[in-house]
């Protein structure tokens, strides 16, 4: 049985796209170290409240224009739940979970990550506009998932 010419072309094209994508992704992940971080910083999830810096969740100024937001997540809340940072500052969120996997997402920003118990997640974001962001949990974490939110106020 002979394959149709167009079918052959599309088959070759499809395989080529797959191979090229895998080569690019593999090169970035392994040769350039761009793979997602995992198990870089670990923590005992039952001792979050007694482990620095999570024993004191909050917003801290760490440099002239740098801030750290230390956050502990649990079903179904963020601690702190009201965050205020200045516009243009480099804000590093340091997060962990006390129970199950949660997510953090601020729509229309690059702030979007999973927060896994036993691991410390860091993500840096600069907010260029003074506005209020709703920070939501985007990993289903139980019956109160849809109520799990916090606000980030970016001040002038
Ligand atoms: Cu926490 Cu969904």
Q: Which atom of ligand 1 is nearest to the CA of 141?
A: 2
Ligand 1: residues within 6 Å at CB? 76, 102, 137, 139-141, 145, 148
CA of 114 to the centre of ligand 1 (A): 10
Strand pairing category for 66-74 and 90-97: parallel
Query: Cα 105–95–116 angle (5° rounding)?
Result: 80
Q: Domain residue spans in the chain?
A: 1-35, 45-155
- Specify whether the CB–CB gap between 69 and 137 falls below 8 A: no
Q: What is the pLDDT of residues 37-81, one digit of tens each?
A: 666 789 999 999 999 999 999 999 999 999 999 999 999 999 999
Q: What is the pLDDT of residues 7-31, one digit of tens each?
A: 999 999 999 999 999 999 999 988 8
Q: How far, in Å, CA of 46 to CA of 50, rounded?
A: 9
* ipTM here: 0.98
Q: Would you state the structure tokens that stand for residue 111, as one six-digit string?
A: 């702030």
Per DSSP, the three-state class of 102 is strand
| CATH annotation of 45-155 | 2.60.40.420
């Amino acid at each position: 049985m002979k394959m149709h010419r167009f079918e052959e072309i599309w088959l070759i094209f499809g395989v080529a796209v797959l191979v090229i994508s895998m080569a690019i992704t593999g090169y970035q992940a392994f040769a350039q170290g761009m793979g997602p971080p995992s198990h870089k910083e670990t923590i005992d999830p039952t001792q979050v409240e007694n482990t620095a810096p999570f024993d004191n969740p909050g917003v801290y100024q760490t440099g002239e224009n740098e801030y750290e937001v230390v956050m502990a997540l649990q079903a179904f809340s963020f601690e702190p739940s009201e965050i205020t940072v200045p516009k243009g500052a480099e804000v590093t969120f340091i997060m962990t979970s006390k129970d199950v996997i949660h997510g953090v997402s601020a729509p229309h920003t690059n702030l979007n990550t999973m927060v896994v118990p036993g691991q410390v997640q860091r993500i840096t974001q600069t907010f260029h506009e003074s506005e209020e962001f709703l920070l939501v949990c985007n990993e289903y974490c139980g019956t109160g998932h849809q109520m799990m939110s916090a606000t980030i106020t970016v001040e002038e």
